[in-house]
Amino acid sequence: MKIGIIGGTGGMGKGFALRWCENHDILIGSRESSKAEEAAREYTSLAQKEYSTFKGTITGKDNITVAKESDVLVLSIPYENIDAICSQLLPNVKDSCTVISPIVPLTKTDVGFEFISFKDKKPSAFELVHNHMKNKSRLVSAFHTVSEKKLVDPKLILDSDIFVCGDAEDSISITRQLITEIRNLRPILLGPGSLSYLAEVATPILLNAMIKNKMKNPGIKII
């Protein structure tokens, strides 16, 4: 399976690439293909040191090419850039492509991290991305509470739950499969895409709890 990562040169993109390259072909996306190619070489070198063998590949390409070629497209981008990026890329994806949004409408204020959708009465990340989808049922919301610092180190076990929201059963199934391929992550289905704000709001809750209680890169576990 070809997994494209838009924003693949960032920390989350690097983590996803290193975790999934064991079994899949990873396409690192960037506005500049040269930057994506450089990141892909770096990630491949790290993967070769981490795994004795791995079945997949890691390559770098420009964002539009990645969008066209991917079977799964992960949008590792800021909330503020959704309209600018998705309006250009999502019209190019295959109708069968599952698009995963880990995006959170988040801002830091004097009182702590706040959820923009509540604070400023703005749409959820899922809603904004959904506006640009050709096949709107293929959008899935997931990975909002994964620690970037832990994700980038394949030696670390994450041991947490990942909330999933979506509308197409096959896209939900693919997303759940990718979650379980990362050791000790467990997918927890919350409901349809319209409930994605519930998954997104978990991020500022987790960040504020982490800071106020001096926790180190925590996750969420339902027991």
- What is residue 167's DSSP assignment? S
192 belongs to a structural domain: yes
Q: What is the mean pLDDT of the chain?
A: 95
Bridge partners of 160, per DSSP, are: 185
100 belongs to a structural domain: yes
221 belongs to a structural domain: no
223 belongs to a structural domain: no
Residue 217 pLDDT > 90, yes or no? no
Q: If pLDDT is split at 50, 70 and 90, which confidence band does 52 have?
A: confident
187 belongs to a structural domain: yes
Looking at the chain, the whole-number percentage of residues with pLDDT higher than 90 is 91
Under a CB-based contact definition with an 8 Å cutoff, are residues 54 and 22 in contact? yes
Tokens of 140: 């899935």
pLDDT of res. 211: 94
pLDDT of res. 187: 98
CATH number of the domain residue 53 falls in? 3.40.50.720
- pTM of the predicted model, to two decimals? 0.95
In angstroms, what CA-CA distances link 101 with 6, 76, 86, 215?
10, 7, 11, 26
218 belongs to a structural domain: no
For residue 177, what are the domain limits? Answer: 2-212
59 belongs to a structural domain: yes
Residue 60 pLDDT > 90, yes or no? yes
pLDDT digits (tens, 9 = 90+) for 64-76: 999 999 999 999 9
Buried b (16+ CB within 10 A) or exposed e, 34-68: ebbbebbebbbebbeeeeeebebebbbbbbbbbbb
Residue 54 pLDDT > 90, yes or no? no
178 belongs to a structural domain: yes
Q: Report how many domains make up the chain.
A: 1
pLDDT digits (tens, 9 = 90+) for 88-137: 999 999 999 999 999 999 999 999 999 999 989 999 999 999 999 999 99
Residue 57 pLDDT > 90, yes or no? yes
